[in-house]
Amino acid sequence: SPNPNKRIADTYDYLERKGMRKASFVVCQSEAMKKYLLEKYDFLTANRIFSYKCGADGKLFYIDNDIRTSIRKELGVKETETLFIYSGGLHKWQRIEDSVNLFVDYAKKHEGKFLILTLDKEAAQALVNQTGEELKNRFIIHSVTNKEVYKYLNAADVAFLLRDDVVLNRVASPTKLAEYMFCGLPIISTNVSTYWIEDPSYIYNADIEKNLDKVNDFIKNADREAIAKYALEYLSVECDRRNLNILINEAKR
C-alpha cells in the first residue's frame, strides 16, 4: 500500500515478533525470507528456520521434445518463430500488461508469437485488442487444465515472469518460476529475480536491458537441460520434502 496504516503495521510487527519468540521452529517460503528474518530478529538462529518453497513437481513438469513439436504444430507456430509464453492470472501485480508491451516492441522487428495461458481469456483478449489490428494475430490465448500446462511450456522458447522489486516479491519463491524451469525455459524477469535464484544466466533482466533486442541470443545460449536440473535441485517438491524431514527430525529431539 502506498499509504499504509502505521498502527496496523505496528500491530502486525508486534504479533510477528511475539510469534517468532514463542515458536520452536519457523517455516517460511524462501531462503531470501529466512535471511530477512535472521536480519530482522537478532534472537532467531538459522537452525530454527526452514524454507518450504512450494516447489514444482517433476512428475508434472518436465522437458519433452516430442510434445514441443506437436503443440507448436497445433498452435500454428513455425520453428523459425520465437514463442514467448506467460502462464497464470492477470492481476496487476503479475505485470502481464508490461509483458505484452515488451513483446509488442519485439514483434515489430522480429518473428515471434506470444502464448498467454490463462483461465481469464476475456481479460486477456481485451488486453491483446489494445495492441492494434496489425499485431493481434501474433498473440495466442489458451486455457488448459493444470495437468496440461507442461505441454505448452515445452512448446515455448522463453517465459515472462515480471515482478516489482519490493520486499514482498524479494522474499517470495514463485511456483511459476519452478514450473517454467522444470520445462527448461529461460525466463524474462526483473531485478527482483536475483533474490530467487543464484545463477543469473537463466534470467533475461528486463530492468537492465529495457527491451528484448538481445533476447534471441539469450534464448540461443540457454541450456534447457541445465535449467531443468537446477529446478530439480533447488525448486522442487522433493527439496521441500527434504527440508520438512529435517524439521521433523529436529522437532523429535
Q: What is the pLDDT of residues 13-60, one digit of tens each?
A: 999 999 999 999 999 999 999 999 999 999 999 999 999 998 999 999
C-alpha cell at 204: 533475461
Q: What is the pLDDT of residue 200?
A: 81
- Whether the Cβ atoms of residue 29 and residue 120 lie closer than 8 Å to each other: no
CA–centroid distance for 24 within its chain? 31
When mean pLDDT is compared across 53-57, 71-75, 130-134, the lowest value belongs to 130-134
For 184-197, b/e burial (b = at least 16 CB within 10 A) is: bbbbbbbbbbebbb
pLDDT tens, position by position, 213-246: 999 999 999 999 999 999 999 999 999 999 999 9
For cell 521441500, name the residue.
Answer: 240
How far is it, in rounded angstroms, from Cα 162 to Cα 95? 6
Q: Which residues contact 95 (CB under 8 A, 6 or more apart)?
A: 162, 163, 164
